[in-house]
């Protein structure tokens, strides 16, 4: 399905990003895994390559526009083009409204939202000459309905990602670059470690499927948006959330 396609997945050292990189590679894509944690990312790269896929470790801090420009340039230099970008890297520090600082506000915004603009632009500029591109942005149910458990700023950035998905989808449509988003509910990754077990249990009780997702279940929602077969969907958001929010 993705044979000869070149992909970047950010935040690919663990969690949803690692699962997505593995799934895209399994379907034939050559995948650049990009994370600030290069050491852990290398273990995922090694696993993908050992399974017969083709992956490379290209570390980058997505909050730095110069680094994301370089990431795209490195991928094009290595594999000749770029077809797919999954903007997945993100952080969700649990900070009560009363304790939020300007430094944390800026950090959350830069990693979760500013990154999506600058990396999508860099990627789309590389995709334009080929008249083909697929960009998938990882938002959150928090971006749909506002966040719970001390995630006010996080949720605002994820709503920003949804708005940007639509604007950029319109902007890049003339070059056949399709841009969509997924909005996951609670996923069993490091991100949820900071949520107290009683709060998590109460949340899970509200999920119709009565459990958290595994990272691969989110990757399975991302995959269709990356394929050349998906040709008439852009600016859309897929809720991958066990039914907890139905828009």
Ligand X SMILES: NC(=O)c1ccc[n+]([C@@H]2O[C@H](COP(=O)([O-])OP(=O)(O)OC[C@H]3O[C@@H](n4cnc5c(N)ncnc54)[C@H](O)[C@@H]3O)[C@@H](O)[C@H]2O)c1
Q: In the block, which residue shows the tokens 């591109």?
A: 133
Per DSSP, 2 falls in state -
Based on CB atoms, which residue is closest to ligand X, 111 or 169? 111
Based on CB atoms, which residue is closest to ligand X, 176 or 206? 206
Site string for ligand X, 119-148 (x = CB under 6 A): -------------------x-x--------
Query: Can you tell me whether residue 17 is helix, strand or coil?
Result: helix
Q: How big is the chain, counted in residues? A: 247
Question: With binding defined as CB under 6 A, does residue 242 bind ligand X?
Answer: no
Whole-number Å distance between alpha carbons of 242 and 207: 6
Least distance (Å) between residue 83 CB and ligand X: 21
**Tokens linked to 48:** 């993908």
SS (H, E, C) 181-198: EEEECCECCHHHCCCCHH
Least distance (Å) between residue 23 CB and ligand X: 13
Residues within window 83-122 making contact with ligand X, judged by CB under 6 A: 88-92, 111
Query: Can you tell me whether residue 109 is helix, strand or coil?
Result: helix
Active site positions, annotated: 154
Based on CB atoms, which residue is closest to ligand X, 82 or 213? 213
Residue numbers at the binding site for ligand X (CB under 6 A):
10-11, 13-17, 35-37, 61-63, 88-92, 111, 138, 140, 184, 186-187, 189-192
């Amino acid at each position: 399905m993705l044979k000869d396609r070149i992909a970047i997945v950010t935040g690919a050292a663990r969690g949803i990003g690692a699962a997505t990189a593995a799934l895209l590679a399994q379907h034939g894509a050559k995948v650049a895994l990009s994370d600030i944690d290069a050491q852990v990312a290398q273990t995922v790269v090694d696993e993908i390559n050992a399974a017969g896929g083709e992956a490379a470790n290209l570390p980058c801090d997505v909050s730095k526009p110069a680094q994301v420009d370089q990431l795209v340039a490195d991928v094009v230099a290595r594999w000749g083009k770029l077809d797919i970008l999954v903007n997945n890297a993100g952080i969700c520090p649990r900070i009560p409204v009363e304790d939020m600082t300007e430094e944390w506000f800026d950090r959350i915004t830069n990693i979760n939202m500013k990154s999506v603009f600058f990396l999508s632009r860099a990627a789309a500029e590389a995709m334009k000459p080929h008249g083909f591109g697929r960009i998938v942005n990882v938002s959150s149910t928090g971006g749909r309905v506002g966040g719970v458990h001390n995630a006010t700023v996080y949720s605002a950035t994820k709503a920003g990602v949804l708005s940007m998905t639509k604007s950029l989808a319109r902007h890049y449509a003339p070059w056949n670059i399709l841009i969509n988003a997924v909005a996951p509910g609670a996923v069993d990754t490091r991100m949820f470690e900071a949520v107290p077990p009683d709060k998590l249990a109460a949340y899970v009780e509200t999920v119709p499927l009565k459990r958290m997702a595994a990272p691969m279940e989110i990757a399975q929602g991302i995959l269709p948006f990356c394929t050349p077969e998906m040709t008439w969907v852009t600016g859309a958001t897929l809720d991958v959330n066990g039914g907890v929010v139905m828009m």
